[in-house]
Amino acid sequence: MSILAGCGECKLAESGWIGTRLLGPIPGRSIRLVTHPRIADEPPAADRAPAPRPSSPRLGVPWERIVLALTLAGLAAGGGAWLAGAATLAAAAWVAAIVVALVPLTVAIARALARGETGVDIIALLALAGALALGEYLAGAVIAVMFASGTALEHYASARARRELSALLDRAPRVVHRYEGTGLTSPPLEDVRPRDRLLVKAGEVVPVDGVLSDEHAVLDESVLTGETRLAERTSGERVRSGAVNAGGPFAMFATTTAAGSTYAGIIRLVREAQTSKAPFVRLADRYALVFLPLTLAIAGAAWLASGDPVRALAVLVVATPCPLILAAPIAIIAGISRAAQRGIVMKGGAVLEALSRSRVLLFDKTGTLTMGRPFVTEVLAPGGPGPDGPYGPDEIVRLAASLDQVSTHVLAAAIVQAARERGRPLVMPAGVTEESGRGVRGRVDGHAVAVGRADWAAGDGELPEWARKLRRRTAFEGAINVFVAVDGTLAGALILEDPVRPDTARTIRALRAAGIRRVVMVTGDHVDVAETVGAAVGVDAVLAERSPADKVEAVRGERAWGSTIMVGDGVNDAPALAAADVGVAMGARGSTASSEAADVVLVVDRLDRLAEALRLARRARGIALQSVVAGIGLSLAVMVLAAFGWVPPAAGALIQEAIDVAVILNALRALGGYGAAAPARGPEAALSQRFRSEHGELLPVVNRVRAVADRLDPAAPQAALADVRDIYRFLVEDLLPHEAEEERSFYPLIAKTLGGDDPTGTMVRGHVEIAHLVRVLGRLLEDLPPEGPGADDLPELRRVLYGLYAILRLHFAQEEEAYLSLFDVPPASAPA
């Protein structure tokens, strides 16, 4: 197959031409990419979550409800007896309520002490025991109810915060139907193997990753991506496990096992997130322990100063560190849960906190800043059908695609897709051989066809001038060239591009607004290619021609600027993802290695979710800190009041419960959205998708404008005249009506969304300039003689064509970034 001019080692790694191997040298260690790449022998970063340890003693889920019910019953029965004048019976009921809460709490604390842990629930134990000892039975019963209700509230809030994470686990695929012979079976999910033909019935979850074999399927992928719109798939397209069949039954071919599927990977990440504990929460545990001696000191001082032990009891009642032991973990897990709802899976609280503190961002290029899906933009057939050669552009594409049907190279699918969209019938090749790093050979319709590098495809022959010029041009522009030889002679070439994501520049600006101070692009591509992309998206530094080992060193070097985030999607990115403080994988299409090495996986293939993840992380940590500061401040204030005798024990229990409820409800605010664009509804979504699709159809022809300008030759005036007329026809019949319809139907919706005075004025001005150049081109065509342009006509034609190409590319890019992305529509793949 072909080689990208200036292509780095990463392209070969991602294409499958090099397999699992040692990536080195990295000083002091070697890395092997298998299923879970990590930097060997490297100690975990300080802010990575350690192995989970048993939490502070709390009542189990069944006991919470039982204890709450019994303590409420005891408090109510005692109150009824007291009102009836049965003081002894009332005291007995309140004592029973105290004992119901005291016994399980004592057992839980004893078990914690046996493990060498000192829980802050000792304060609650002392308060209950003190009330019992001092005869403050009513106060003790109130404390018992408050403790039991606080425990139940904690469980509810934690479950509410984990709702989206739990939903991901609950929707794990469990049913599979496999075709075996002429029948249909339902084997265990783990028995599914690649190439098995499966049936997915209406309403069922897609069990494994695969390829659709039926003509059409409608899927609900909201659990994977956070997008509420249904996704339509056609034959040959990929379907991911975890999606729900929202249409009729369809058949598919499995491409992975259940364990290797998309959803299985997400579940592994979710389980890791649920078992990890954030550094902030662990710090809260340590700070909470300070409350024990502080509380005892204040309670002892109040007793000594007043001689009244009830004051000491009142201090114990209100001295709960619940804002620390409840609010902090709830806010953190709520932030993780909210991120999961938006297609952002974090591996735990440690990751969320590290993300919130990060200041340096490193990006890989291919598949991260770019779409990662090359498409054919131009086909060159220098000889063309006629006296100089038998093969035109369509035939060149057909021959290359017929051969590429059996190739596994990353570019083969794009070439086959280009042939299908041109309506060219493909035939099966014979005698196919593929050489890594060079290309593929075989016979198509009796002809010896070679597709790949120019010097390899041409054999021993000298490269023609057009081939040398094409290689120089693609090397400078960062495009990909694929040469096609027929019967030993270069007959043509295909140019492919991997476009920058439309939302990349906007996402980088959003990341800077969220606190990122430095943005670096690190890639294996050549300097010219990397600097072109870096300048287009607005990074601070470009590190080009970097091997996987070099990327690790780049991550370490950037730590001088602050905590680092590394974003990538390929196998070659996995070591750098593991080395960064936070590794982010574009998991929608990225390799298993990069997803497992990362701390955050963007399940939906949208880079703008990275900025959203950063905002969510900072908001969740800010809410946790806010809850802790406010809650502890209130508790300290009430403790002082209780020490002076102004707050009796029963009232203190009620105040303490109110503080707990307030900080927990505040912590649950982390479940709310922040900075997330609301999914488009109605006409906005439909029009945005329509015009984005039209851009994809128009862009390849726009690229032909430059190609025609390049090919203008006074030696072939008739061919030049035909090419320019063809371009003019496209501009008048297709492009200008598209621009007019945008201005008529889509721009008013944009103006309504953005507000202000004439927010679409710059885009309208672009339409005016485009129309002006089209008119100029039309006048030039009218003035040309029938035999075609002469040498004096060519400079003006080139000037207008190059001007049209430049302004059209800029205008399309501006619309993609500024307008079409407003309505949260995922970018469509650019067609061939």
Q: What is the pLDDT of residue 167?
A: 61
Whether 569 is catalytic: no
Position 543 pLDDT exceeds 70 = yes
Q: Kindly indicate the confidence band of residue 126, based on its pLDDT and cuts at 50, 70 and 90.
A: confident
Summarised one tens digit per residue, pLDDT across range 358-408 is 999 999 887 788 877 788 888 888 865 544 446 788 889 999 999 988 887
Tokens in use for 769?
Answer: 């300039």
- The conformation of residue 503, written as its DSSP 8-state character, comes to T
Q: How does residue 830 score in pLDDT terms, banded at 50, 70 and 90?
A: very low
Which whole number is the average pLDDT over 50-55?
Answer: 36
Q: Read off the pLDDT band of 658 (50, 70, 90).
A: confident
Query: What pLDDT is stored for residue 119 in this prediction?
Result: 59
Average pLDDT of the residues in 317-336 = 74
Question: If you write DSSP's letter for every residue of 76-97 in order, what string do you get?
Answer: HHHHHHHHTT-HHHHHHHHHHH
Strands (E), 416-479: 430-435, 439-444, 447-452
> With bands split at pLDDT 50, 70 and 90, how would you rate the model's confidence at 831?
very low
Least confident residue range of 107-121, 248-262, 796-810: 107-121
Determine the average pLDDT of the residues in 281-299.
71
Local confidence band at 301 (pLDDT 50, 70, 90 cut-offs):
very high
- Is it true that the peptide bond before 499 is cis, omega within 30 degrees of 0? no
**3-class DSSP assignment, residue 619:** helix
- What pLDDT score does 358 carry? 92
Torsion over CA: 763, 767, 772, 774 (sign): positive
Under DSSP, the state recorded for 461 is: S
**pLDDT digits over 432-466, tens only?**
888 877 889 999 998 999 998 888 888 777 788 88
Q: Which of 47, 196, 220, 364 is catalytic?
A: 364
Mean of pLDDT over the chain: 77
Average pLDDT over residues 612-641: 88
- How far apart CA 583 and CA 568 sit, in angstroms, is 8
Segment holding 497, helix H or strand E: strand 489-497
Residue 49 predicted with pLDDT over 60: no
pLDDT value, residue 165: 56
Q: Taking the CB of residue 86, how many other CB atoms lie within 10 A of it?
A: 14
For tokens 């993802």, name the residue.
Answer: 577
Asked if residue 478 has pLDDT above 90, the reply is: no
**pLDDT at residue 465 in the model:** 85
pLDDT(568) > 90: no
Quote the DSSP letter at residue 715: T
pLDDT band (50, 70, 90) for residue 695: confident
Which segment, 170-179, 383-392, 531-540, is predicted with the most confidence on average? 531-540
- Which of 317-321, 470-474, 580-584, 605-609 has the largest mean confidence? 580-584
The pLDDT assigned to 715 comes to 72
Q: What percent of the chain is predicted at pLDDT more than 70?
A: 78
Long-range contacts, 722-729 (Cβ 8 Å, 24+): 724/777, 724/781, 724/789, 724/797, 724/801, 725/781, 727/777, 727/801, 728/774, 728/777, 728/778, 728/781
Query: Per mean pLDDT, which range of 223-237, 275-289, 697-711 is the poorest?
Result: 275-289
Contact between 801 and 727 (Cβ < 8 Å) = yes
pLDDT at residue 696, rounded to an integer: 74
| pLDDT top residue among 618 and 165 | 618
Helix axes 717-730, 682-711, angle to 10 degrees: 170
Among 19-23, 537-541, 764-768, which stretch is predicted with the lowest mean pLDDT?
Answer: 19-23
Q: Are 147 and 124 in contact (CB under 8 A)?
A: yes
Q: Is the pLDDT of residue 680 over 60?
A: no
Exposure b/e, 570-587, CB count within 10 A at least 16 = b: bbbbbbbbbbbbbbbbbb
Distance (Å, whole) CA 146 – CA 152: 10
d(CA 513, CA 611): 9
What per-residue confidence (pLDDT) applies to 276?
54
Calpha distance 45→478 (Å, rounded): 37
Q: What is the pLDDT of residues 130-171, one digit of tens each?
A: 889 988 888 888 888 877 876 776 666 556 655 655 666 666
Q: Which comes out higher in pLDDT, residue 695 or 488?
A: 488
Confidence of residue 355 (pLDDT cuts 50, 70, 90): very high
320 within 8 A of 154, measured Cβ to Cβ: no
Kind and range of the H or E element at 372? none
Dihedral sign for Cα atoms in the order 231, 235, 238, 239? positive
What pLDDT sits at residue 673?
Answer: 59
